[in-house]
């Protein structure tokens, strides 16, 4: 078997793309999107008719409502291809507004349900700020499942578990990027590969903690830079992978071994911790990598949301 098929024996494989025409070749279980991926997709010629049709049907509505229609339309098309779930992201500009995040999630889910999509096939994607985590707590109690993204710090993962979040997306590649940049010329790629990769270590810590304490939240490693990072997390609940890296795994046939498993995690010597709001904010502030990358990620997604707004405004 190729490496992609081997990986699927241990881990649920998720495609990280808004380009639903690419999905069938890799047969992923789920798919994730974000503002950057949707922006990239809608600028491709083959998606122009879909964008134009959606905008035309809702031209009289407020811009934010039209954007949500576009996001959900892409989600619907993805769900025609994948048998599982799609993640659709709340506007990153709402990352520090719990009430507005909940309201936007309600609207997205209402659009999916109006289209005949069961809510169990949709994950509402929210930035893992304190406000985002509290919004997810509310939504999960209502039966609206969430994917907490832009997750870089252990305190974020612990707070998500305490909030009963369905799934988290720790960003392996962006953690790796930060450490590599910080070390500059002193960075040793070979010494920081595989299990020693800082992003891989972060996900392994979270996975071990969740399984040790029987926390139901699913761990989905995300934002990979190379297949080595992916294979070092074989056995993680889910891994969301770009089409480019899915293709590399599909083209390789070296053996893939399971690395993470619940039994080993339960035997680990780790202690339970908890974070209220002040403790969470202080722990995040103390983690320079996490606070840098969270702020940077929100800014980037917000900038791409503005570009998507402009594209849709020009089309109506």
Name which of 254, 252, 250, 193 is nearest 224 in CA terms. Answer: 193
How many residues appear in the chain?
Answer: 316
Longest dimension (CA), the chain: 58
| 91 neighbors 64 (Cβ within 8 angstroms) | yes
According to DSSP, residue 171 is labeled B
Among the listed residues 8, 125, 166, 293, the single catalytic one is: 125
| 23 neighbors 81 (Cβ within 8 angstroms) | yes
Q: Give the number of other CB atoms < 10 A from CB of residue 251.
A: 11
- Burial class from Cβ neighbours inside 10 Å (0-12, 13-18, 19+) for residue 60 reads exposed
Q: Phi-psi category of 51—alpha, beta or left, where left has phi over 0 and alpha has psi -120 to 50?
A: alpha
Q: Give the number of other CB atoms < 10 A from CB of residue 49.
A: 9
Integer Cα distance of 150 and 294 in angstroms: 6
Collapsing DSSP states into helix, strand and coil, what is residue 83? Answer: coil
Does residue 125 carry a catalytic annotation? Answer: yes
Integer Cα distance of 238 and 9 in angstroms: 11
Integer Cα distance of 33 and 214 in angstroms: 28
The set of catalytic residues is 125
């Amino acid at each position: 078997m190729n490496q992609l098929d081997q990986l699927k024996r241990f881990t649920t494989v998720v495609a990280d793309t808004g380009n639903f025409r690419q999905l069938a070749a890799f047969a992923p279980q789920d798919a994730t999107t974000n503002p950057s991926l949707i922006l990239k997709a809608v600028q491709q010629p083959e998606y122009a008719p879909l964008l134009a049709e959606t905008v035309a049907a809702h031209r009289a509505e407020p811009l934010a409502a039209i954007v949500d229609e576009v996001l959900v339309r892409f989600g619907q098309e993805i769900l025609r291809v994948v048998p599982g779930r799609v993640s659709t992201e709340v506007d990153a500009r709402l990352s520090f507004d719990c009430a507005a995040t909940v309201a936007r999630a309600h609207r997205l889910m209402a659009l999916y349900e109006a289209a005949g999509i069961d809510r169990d096939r949709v994950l509402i994607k929210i930035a893992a700020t304190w406000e985002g985590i509290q919004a997810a707590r509310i939504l999960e109690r209502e039966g609206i499942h969430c994917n907490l993204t832009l997750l870089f710090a252990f305190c974020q993962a612990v707070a998500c578990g305490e909030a009963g979040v369905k799934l988290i997306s720790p960003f392996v590649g962006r953690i790796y990027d930060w450490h590599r940049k910080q070390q500059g010329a002193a960075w040793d790629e070979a010494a920081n590969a595989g299990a020693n990769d800082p992003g891989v270590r972060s996900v392994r810590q979270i996975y071990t903690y969740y399984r040790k304490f029987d926390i139901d939240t699913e761990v989905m490693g995300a934002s990979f830079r190379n297949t080595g990072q992916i294979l070092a997390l074989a056995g993680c609940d889910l891994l969301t992978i770009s089409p480019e890296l899915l293709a590399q795994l599909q083209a390789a046939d070296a053996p893939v071994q399971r690395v993470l498993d619940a039994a080993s995690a339960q035997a680990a010597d780790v202690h339970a911790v908890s974070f209220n709001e002040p403790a969470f904010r202080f722990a995040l502030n103390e983690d320079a990598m996490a606070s840098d990358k969270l702020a940077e990620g929100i800014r980037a997604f917000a900038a791409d949301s503005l570009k998507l707004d402009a594209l849709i405004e020009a089309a109506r």
